[in-house]
Amino acid sequence: MDEIPLLEVRHLDKSYDNKYHANRDVSFKLQSGLLVGLIGPNGCGKTTLMRCINKIQPITSGDILIDGESILPKTSAEVAKLISNVPAEITASFGLTVFEIVMLGRYPYLQNIWWETEKDETIVTDALKNFNIYHLKDRTIDMLSSGERQRVMIAKAYVQNSKLMLVDEPTSHLDIRYKLNIMECLKALVEQNMTILVAEHDISMMARYCDLCIIMKSGELIAVGNPKEVITESLIRDVYGIDASVSTDKDGEIFVIPKKVVGNGGI
């Protein structure tokens, strides 16, 4: 008997006004304990797909299952216990401190509207220490660097105790040290048997850290597999419309060097 996947997306379609298809007939399965890279050019449907998976946006047709059960009939609080979300941008912090923002991740478990329990406080405090941001707990998030903010949002998702974490562009606006730091952080969470789906533009970074890569173009899946097998020069030319060199370093890690736009790239 085949193992039930942690996440299964079945023929997912997301359209607007039955005209523009952001996602078209997307199907894939993910087992638990994987770091998965969702790769593709701007506008290919990565963020929309992630918003559909966690029910931020309704799907047009298809189904999304966690451990073999559809999430479509579940409430937002029920889904939040299964799937946590780290957005690409923090739209508003309302003057909340780091401690308060991470505590928001405990919302699905609160027994009443206003007060968290001692257990919730302990979980949040432990997370702040594990993510090395405890010393920032009384600061508002607008006082933090981009890398510190990203750690706060990952900690918030972590305390939801979900089975699947969705992370949208975690290394955008970060310097190379923070990029590596964040990816090491996500890799450590996967080693604790969490499954993480990361939408990211840095192909070399995804190839290095991810167990599996999902490649998208124009709302459709192009390839799913081991990054060392699916990330090729021909695939990059097809998906991104550029010529690139795909090589491996002395440690066997893939790196991608863009060369030029294929044809007339415009200005």
Query: Angle at the Cα of 246 (from 240 to 252), degrees rounded to 5?
Result: 140
Q: How far apart are CA 93 and CA 141, in angstroms?
A: 7
pLDDT at 117: 83
The tokens for 164 are 């699947």
pLDDT at 237: 95
Give the position of tokens 């090729």: 232
3 state DSSP class of 152: helix
3 state DSSP class of 195: strand
Q: For the whole model, what pTM was predicted?
A: 0.91
**Total domains present in the chain:** 1
CB 169 within 8 Å of CB 201: yes
- pLDDT below 70 — which residues of the chain? 1-2, 91-93, 111-115, 264-267
- Give the chain's end-to-end CA distance (angstroms, integer): 54
Host domain of residue 212: 7-261
pLDDT at 145: 87
Residue 228 lies in a domain: yes
The tokens for 136 are 């920032």
pLDDT at 84: 96
Residue 1 lies in a domain: no
Residue 54 lies in a domain: yes
CB 172 within 8 Å of CB 156: no
Residue 266 lies in a domain: no
Residue 2 lies in a domain: no
Q: How far apart are CA 178 and CA 198, in angstroms?
A: 16
Residue 178 lies in a domain: yes
pLDDT at 267: 54
CATH number at residue 34: 3.40.50.300
| Residues present in the chain in total | 267
Beta carbons within 10 angstroms of residue 42's beta carbon: 7
Q: How far apart are CA 145 and CA 178, in angstroms?
A: 10
DSSP assigned state of 138:
T
Residue 104 lies in a domain: yes
Report which of 24, 31, 25, 27 is spatially closest to residue 10, judged by C-alpha positions: 27
pLDDT at 170: 86
Strands 254-261 and 195-199: unpaired
Residue 137 lies in a domain: yes
Beta strands in 73-120 (DSSP E): 83-86
Report which of 187, 221, 245, 229 is spatially closest to residue 38, judged by C-alpha positions: 221
